[in-house]
Amino acid sequence: MAQSVRLTSLAHGGGCGCKLAPAVLRDIMAQMPAAAAFPDLMVGTESSDDAAVWRLNDSQALVATTDFFMPVVDDPYDFGRIAATNALSDVYAMGASPILALAIVGMPVAKLDADAIGRILAGGAAVCAAAGVPVAGGHSIDSVEPIYGLVALGLVHPDRVLTNRGGRPGDVLILTKPLGVGVLSAALKQGKLEPGGYEALIASTTQLNVLGRELPEMAGVHAVTDVTGFGLIGHALEMAQGARLVAEIRAEAAPLLSGVERLAQAGVVTGASGRNWASYGEHVFQPDDLAGWRRDLLTDPQTSGGLLVAAAPDAAEAVLSAARDLGFRHAAVVGRLAEPGPGQAPGVSLT
């Protein structure tokens, strides 16, 4: 059977917009048992970080993560590339270098032929090859909706692990990729995405966050996370709460993918954007004159988004320069971390 069905038509959601809403996930994770009995577990579930970290010895720590989702685009090869890039991002966000991947595959075999499924896997394998790692195995099931992703493993020195909770007052916040992936994917589903918009979507979502493995060697870098399904505000909130600080985000400073502002102003938005705001809006201060479409972009789910880096002010230019040298030409300072004011709880403040 030739592939005649659109991949996105087989799924109720797509990309990182499929993630459970932050509030739902928080309630579920609250039931997880503590991992204090494992002294070599350096990073677990307690901090909403990007990956788990296990100390192997004095010079090596294993970074382990898994990420998978339903199609955000219709081309099988592009879907595989995006999903693999997104999964490896969690390893880079911890300051590690990936070493190995395993494939997670769930496909509606009655609706997709073997060629289309093979192209999904080939796309993922191509990204892993570009990252210098093999796809060494995996697991597959027959599922109602198409699902693809990776288990990704990496290595980092135990003293150089970067988490999302190490930010310090006065740190600047640097975002390495422009926002708007959710808006562009919504426009694609609605038949409103122009060819240039699709090219921008693919270029952004398949760009490996290799900057992450360089950051542990840079003085003044204190915290890192990748911006994915919870949007810029959601991941900045995790960073702020982890450090017991306030993330002051300049709404207009966040770079946007080409065409996104026009689409957002026209009302193209994902359902996940609203769910994100409903989950964490109580922890966010927003000015009365902030346009609704602008807030939607700050909560827009980013499939395979960029890194959010907290760095000392005197380290910011070095981080930006390194990012741009690696092809992240839209990297920009989007805010800073500050001490909470009197009576103010850790959270996000939009300006």
Instruction: Give tens-digit pLDDT for 103-142.
Output: 999 999 999 999 999 999 999 999 999 999 999 999 999 9
State the average pLDDT over residues 39-51: 89
- The residue among 315, 169, 316 whose CA lies nearest residue 246 is 169
- The residue among 224, 223, 75, 59 whose CA lies nearest residue 156 is 59
Q: Kindly list the catalytic residues.
A: 16
How far is Cα 304 from Cα 128, in angstroms, rounded to an integer?
14
Does pLDDT of 14 surpass 50?
yes
Question: What does the pLDDT look like over 62-97, one tens digit per residue?
Answer: 999 999 999 999 999 999 999 999 999 999 999 999
Q: How far is CA 145 from the centre of its chain?
A: 22
Does pLDDT of 34 surpass 90?
no
Are 181 and 205 a contacting pair, CB within 8 Å? yes
How far is Cα 185 from Cα 123, in angstroms, rounded to an integer?
18
Q: 232 falls in which pLDDT band (50, 70, 90)?
A: very high
| Locus of tokens 């918009």 | 197
% of the chain surpassing 90 pLDDT: 85
Q: What is the per-residue pLDDT for 132? A: 98
State the average pLDDT over residues 136-164: 97
Pairing of strands 332-338, 172-175: antiparallel
% of the chain surpassing 70 pLDDT: 92
Q: What is the per-residue pLDDT for 2? A: 42
Q: What are phi and psi of 251, to 5 degrees?
A: -55, -40
Instruction: Say what the pTM is.
Output: 0.92
Are 228 and 208 a contacting pair, CB within 8 Å? no
Mean pLDDT, the chain, whole residue set: 92
Are 310 and 166 a contacting pair, CB within 8 Å? yes
State the average pLDDT over residues 195-213: 96
Q: What are phi and psi of 110, to 5 degrees?
A: -80, -15
Q: What is the per-residue pLDDT for 109? A: 93
Q: What is the per-residue pLDDT for 11? A: 75
How far is Cα 248 from Cα 255, in angstroms, rounded to an integer?
16
CB within 8 Å of 97: residues ≥ 6 apart: 91, 154, 155, 156, 213
Q: 1 falls in which pLDDT band (50, 70, 90)?
A: very low
DSSP-derived letter for residue 217 is G
Q: 33 falls in which pLDDT band (50, 70, 90)?
A: low
Question: CB 115: neighbour CB atoms within 10 A?
Answer: 11
